[in-house]
Structure 1
Amino acid sequence: MVRPGRFFFIVGPSGAGKDTLIDGARLALASRDDIVFATRTITRQSGAPGESHVGVSEAEFDVLEAAQRFLITWRAHGLRYGLPIELKQAVDAGRHVIANGSRAMIAELASRVPELVVIEVTAPVSVLAARIAARGREGEAQIAARLARGLIPVPDGVRALKVMNDASASMGAQRFADVLQAVIDEAPDASLNAGWDDYLAKLGGATLDERAYTRLMDGIAGSRFSDDESRTMLRTLIGTLEDSEVAALARVRMRRMARIDWGEPIVVDKHSMGGVPGSRITLIVVPIVAAFGLLMPKTSSRAITSASGTADAMEALARVDLDATELNAVTREARGCIAWNGRLNHSAVDDVTNAMVRPLQLDTRRWSVASILSKKYSAGATHVVVDLPYGPQTKLANEDEARELGELFERVGAELGMTVKAFATDGSAPVGRGIGPALELRDALAVLDNRADAPADMRDKALRFAAQILAWSPHIGTPHQGRIEAERLLASGAAKQAFERIVDAQGRQPAAQPAALTHTVTAPRAGVVAHIDGWAVSGIARDAGAPACKGAGVDLLCVRGQLVAAGEPVLRIHAAHAEALAAALRALDAQAPVVLAETAGRIDETVISIRY
């Protein structure tokens, strides 16, 4: 038995643009042979301006109506309208009908077709008024009166969806076509799953509220939808997330995780959007802050695609897989921690969505704001500093993008009751010298030990973020004073002592050493280091065995702008074993991790890649 098709009845106020969207959908869905676009019979001349229709006289309309040639008829604006009876036959044969109609006829049509779906095309009042005025048929008073008319509600039991037509005609048509196609192709009884119609509303251009995101996240995390449905839904939600929705989504996520109450007025945290190899400043910032006395329960991730994460680097010296009870005890004892977040701040939504989103390679930056801040909130943070690196190989292409996202972090944080300060930072080159857990830990310890050969860029960046955090203390007040205090705590050794207390509290382990199997890469000729490709270096480090082998990785023996002589070392690979070293060398041969130029001023003209 053929399942009847759906009858889509398109309604909307004057100026909503129903005809435009229907025409656009007709083109967008032209390849589908299971869709019928209805042609109305109207008592006006054929070929008159407006929609394509069958024009008849009043007498001819009477004859057709008496012969029961119409599925429904109605009067509007001095004209009579009819939808042909053949549309019912098309629906019964399993085809789907799209028809422009009158809201007043919804109840009658619902009694005559097996499955009616009402789609209301709408737009803000100001947009409607402007479109009606552009027709030149009515004055301001008539337009105001038209828009002030109350709309007849959709009868109970009739499925109703909306499409917002407030942008370009092409955007409105795309939204309309997307909604039609999603409903036509939806699984049986899909609308009974809480969240599905919210997804359709988002397809139609709606701004979703907290209740809608609650239904959506519950549905996705609870596996109420198929994996394909969930992926499609996430693609739409992530790609069209608005500022207000980021905050709504964050609040939904917050409610799914219990919040830690530290019993202190200021609890600080830090997050980086990542993308800069070697930037392991958390191992310096947390001890500085803990030495000052502010509470900083820092949880971090392991590497996913890079050669090391903060948790990987810390694990080269201390245990990081703390549970909630252990984290609480460590933080209270040492005033801070640097732990892995895999056993903490657990979110079933993340488990499901991350597994689906990562393969889609979507731009998840705005989506991440909700995820990151909800986790910071659940960890008990009251004040959060955010590092937003920008550059050609980071998640943020330029400084403007970073600043824009930073403003969103700060606004959403304020809505959640937290103080958030975001910094756009230059991510065009690695920070520090080592890429790999033990090598990055070595660099951080060099800074904490105030060694003369400590990476200056790592030290400066760590002090910048520590300064902002300390500025939140009423005893400090400004980033300038925070910088002075951070430098004092570092120079005096207080920060290093705080780090050792954190390591002991978490569980000290034998320090991982850089792997002894090495290969040094030298400059093939003299030149200026024009560029260091951080991700190429990171990829070589991974091939060498990082982060699984804590001692594997790459040492950068040069910095951007440095003049190097022919034969001077520029990279040193530390490999887990011979096979890993061979893989790292193959990766080196396929890429240009360091680029030399003949002179600093003519980089683009005489580039020489180091390749082996």
Structure 2
Amino acid sequence: MMRNALPGCFFFIVGPSGAGKDSLIDGARKLLPAENFIYARRVITRPAGSPGEDHEACTTEQFLARQANQEFLIAWQAHGLHYGLSAQLKQELASGRHVIANGSRAMIAQLAQQIPSLIVVEITAPAEVLMNRLVARGREKPDDVAKRLARKTQEFPSQVEVIRVTNDLTLEVGIERFVAALLTRVNLAPPSLRAVYKKIAGGVPTDSEYQELIKAIVNHEHTESALHAFLIACTHDLQLEEIISIAKARSQTVPRISWPSGMVVDKHSMGGIPGSRVTMVVIPIIAAHGLLIPKTSSRAITSAAGTADAMEVLAKVDLTPAELRACVLETNACIAWNGKLNHSILDEVMNALTRPLGLDTRSWSVASILSKKYTAGSTHVVIDIPYTSSGKVKSKEDAESLAQLFERVGQQLGLVVKAFATDGDSPIGRGIGPALEVRDVLQVLDHSPEAPSDLLEKSLFYASQILALDESVGSVQAGRKRAYELLASGAARQALDRIIDKQGRQTDYDFSNVKREAIQARAAGTIRRIDGFVISGIARTAGAPTDHLAGVDLLKSAGEQVQAGESLYLVQASDPARLALAVQAAQQDSGYRIN
């Protein structure tokens, strides 16, 4: 990089003990261009080799003599020591280099009088983080640390520019935030990192910058720590305009599929609710009606089955783009795995970073989901947003807010989007696990009296909402009537069979080796709630979704009365050892809340 032609900036780093100023400065040395930045080495009346920063050691007498000789730009005292910054730093600034100096908050006003280009960088962290770090050092007692943190800090002079960097997560993320703040301020960020650093530093990347950013992520041009910091920034603050920019940028990464019909519909669920194979009922209903609905779905991540896992019990789901297109053109629909389609590479990169950090990426997901629908050629999309206190979306209010976001972003992409908040406090259907969930789906499509009523009702709701988008249907009420007719006549089941045959019918699974064991109520009472995430965990312990036959078969529903010793559900697995582990987990916590 070329050195600045204008005088450089003086970055004065301040912050409380425990904020990690020295660590961030040390880490920045590897990332900031050496020809543009210089690191001020403080003169301290502390012996050489003492713990802490690399400093120039001198005696008190030597320091005072140098101070009298005006060798310091500024000098101050703290903790019984003298500190000074060399006056030669002015020459570095005049040459265009940027100075990074660790200093005292109390010296800012004095420094501002000498350095017009002064920028204060305040390194901060929440009080509890500072407390933990200082106590871990072992230099002070917890009470003394608490008193230190309780001290009021001096206000910054109003005329001084202040940049704040929060260092509350990993050191790597803190360093990226620090570097981003500096490089963005002096416009020295590398092109491949410009948009990432802009966002990390609190700015808002433009449409074109987000386009370059998405391309760079796909091409693995960013470091993992930079992406961590970027995603955390997105979690804390992602404006509507940015979500739209991300959605548009993602939509341009792959060509949009063209279909012969002017109306192409899709249904998507935010997921997180065990069972709930609504999609596998809705798709054949819509296909039987005559609308195109190319459905691609994911495999399970934390649940006992994803739509692709369940469909794989019946048919091949690992379709190429050509196979998917052929299936849709012949049957009006598909239910395929999205691993080879759309933006799966981008999502794999992002998910690998977001899941370990436990980040709330719902806003990012809106852009991800809708861009996939757009590139799949969809024109109309219905979204299911289940909410539960233990799920991705915690409350009805959160779900409704997210629904509005889906609709607004969809409109900007030229899509008709209808999103609905639904209660996800209990599993939908009786089966939890691929084969058991397929059983529930087939019972609904076969119009069986044994079909789970909740799965039927939710499927009819979403089918009617999609069908209402068709002008020939006209209303949700007419859509529900049409959906029910297609179920009752067997047309929807026939549509599913056509899809299965075109994708590649799987051979029947052998249930003869499946072992089952009942989990019983320990006390009598009313089932107030079924914790679907506990049940899903038991099913996964039994082997689902890898073992398609493993899972949990619910025998009792919320609201029912049970007696002590009465069976609540069956746990099943192909592997006796996995079954034993699942039963052990169920005995520790059945997931049923009875009182």
| Alignment partner, residue 77 of structure 2 | none
* Equivalent position of 1:45 in the other structure: none
Structure 1 residue 567, shift from structure 2 partner: 2.8
Matched, 1:483 2:480: yes
**1:194-593 aligned within 5 A:** 194-512=191-509, 516-593=514-591
Matched with 2:159 is none
Contact 2:387 2:425 in 1 (8 A): yes
1:96-134 per-position Cα deviation (integer Å, ceiling 9, x unaligned): 38989999x99xx9xxxxxx998999xxxxxxxxxxxxx
8 A Cα contact 1:450 1:491, kept in partner: yes
When residues 367 and 527 of structure 1 are mapped into structure 2, their CA distance, relative to the original with a 3 A threshold, is same
The match for 1:96 among 90, 101, 118 is 101
Measure, in 1, the Cα distance between the counterparts of 2:271 and 2:394: 13
Q: Quick check: 1:90–1:97 contact (8 Å CA) kept in 2?
A: no
Query: For 1:28 and 1:239, how far apart are their aligned partners in 2?
Result: 25
Q: Residues 420-461 of structure 1: CA distance to partner in whole angstroms, max 9, x if unpaired?
A: 000100000000000000100000000011111110000000
Deviation at 1:240, TM superposition (A): 1.8
Specify the alignment match of 2:9 in structure 1.
8
Deviations 1:389-437 (A, max 9, x none): 0011211111000000000000000000000000100000000000000
C-alpha distance in structure 1 between counterparts of 2:486 and 2:177, whole Å: 63
CA contact (8 A) 1:9 1:101 kept: no
In structure 1, list runs of 5 or more residues that go unmatched: 11-21, 39-66, 72-82, 110-115, 122-171, 598-612
> 2: CA distance between counterparts of 1:101 and 1:243?
42
**What is the distance in 1 between the residues matched to 2:360 and 2:390?**
14
For 1:211 and 1:101, the matched residues in 2 are separated by 42
Q: In the superposition, relative to structure 1, how do residues 454 and 202 fare at CA in structure 2: closer, same or farther (>3 Å)?
A: same
Matched residue SS, 1:376 = helix
AA aligned opposite 2:327: V
The CA distance in 2 between the partners of 1:211 and 1:487, in whole Å, is: 47
Please tell me whether the aligned partners of residues 285 and 487 of structure 2 are also in contact (alpha carbons under 8 angstroms): yes
- Inter-CA distance 100–343: structure 2 relative to 1 (3 Å threshold): farther
Residue pair 1:190, 1:196 contacting (<8 A) in 2 also: no
State the distance in 2 between where 1:226 and 1:185 align: 18
How far, CA to CA, are the matches of 2:356 and 2:19 in structure 1? Answer: 30
Residue type at the aligned position of 1:542: R
Matched, 1:174 2:160: no
Given that residues 198 and 208 in structure 1 are in contact (C-alpha distance below 8 angstroms), is that contact kept between their aligned partners in structure 2? yes
Cα deviations across residues 28-54 of structure 1 (Å, max 9, x unaligned)?
Answer: 89753568799xxxxxxxxxxxxxxxx
Please give the secondary structure, in 1, of the residue aligned with 2:334: strand
Distance in 2 (CA, whole Å) between partners of 1:550 and 1:465 is 26
- Pairing 1:15-94 to 2, within 5 Å after superposition: 26-27=15-16, 32=21, 85-88=87-90
* Superposed displacement of residue 199, structure 1: 2.9
Q: Quote the offset at 1:347 in angstroms.
A: 4.1
Q: What CA distance in whole angstroms lies between the structure 2 residues aligned with 1:100 and 1:433? A: 69
Checking the alignment, whether the CA contact within 8 Å between 2:199 and 2:230 is kept in structure 1 is no
Give the Cα–Cα distance (whole angstroms) in 2 for the partners of residues 535 and 541 of structure 1: 10
Conserved? CA contact 1:7–1:96, under 8 Å: no
**Separation (CA, whole Å) in 1 of partners of 2:98 and 2:314:** 70
Quickly say closer, same or farther: Cα 1:586–1:522, change in 2 above 3 A: closer
Q: Distance in 2 between matches of 1:574 and 1:547?
A: 12
Deviation track 1:226-261 (CA, whole Å, cap 9, x = no partner) reads 222222222223332111100100111111011100
Identity of aligned residues (%): 43
**Contact 1:278 / 1:436 at 8 angstroms: preserved in 2?**
yes
Give, as a single letter, the amino acid of the residue that structure 2 aligns with 1:174.
R
How many pairs were matched up?
484
- Check the 8 A contact 1:336/1:502 in 2, yes or no: yes
CA distance in 2: counterparts of 1:511 and 1:532, whole angstroms? 31
TM, length-normalised to structure 2: 0.74
Alignment check: 8 A CA contact 1:556 1:572 kept: yes
1:7 and 1:117 in contact (8 A); partners too:
no
| Pair 1:30–1:349, CA change in 2 (3 A) | closer
Native 8 Å contact 2:181 2:200 kept in 1: no
Contact 1:391 1:398 in 2 (8 A): yes
Seen in structure 2, the aligned counterparts of structure 1 residues 260 and 350 have a Cα distance that, compared at 3 Å, is same
Match of 1:604 in 2: none
Mapped contact 1:277–1:430 kept (Cα < 8 A): yes
Give per-residue Cα distances to partners, 1:17-74, cap 9 Å, x unaligned.
xxxxx89x55589753568799xxxxxxxxxxxxxxxxxxxxxxxxxxxx99989xxx
In structure 2, distance between residues paired with 1:334 and 1:576? 34
Residue 337 of structure 1 deviates from its aligned partner by 0.9
Q: Match of 1:174, SS?
A: strand
Amino acid at match of 1:259: R
CA distance in 2, matches of 1:327, 1:585: 40
* 2:394 partner SS: coil
TM-score w.r.t. length of structure 1:
0.72
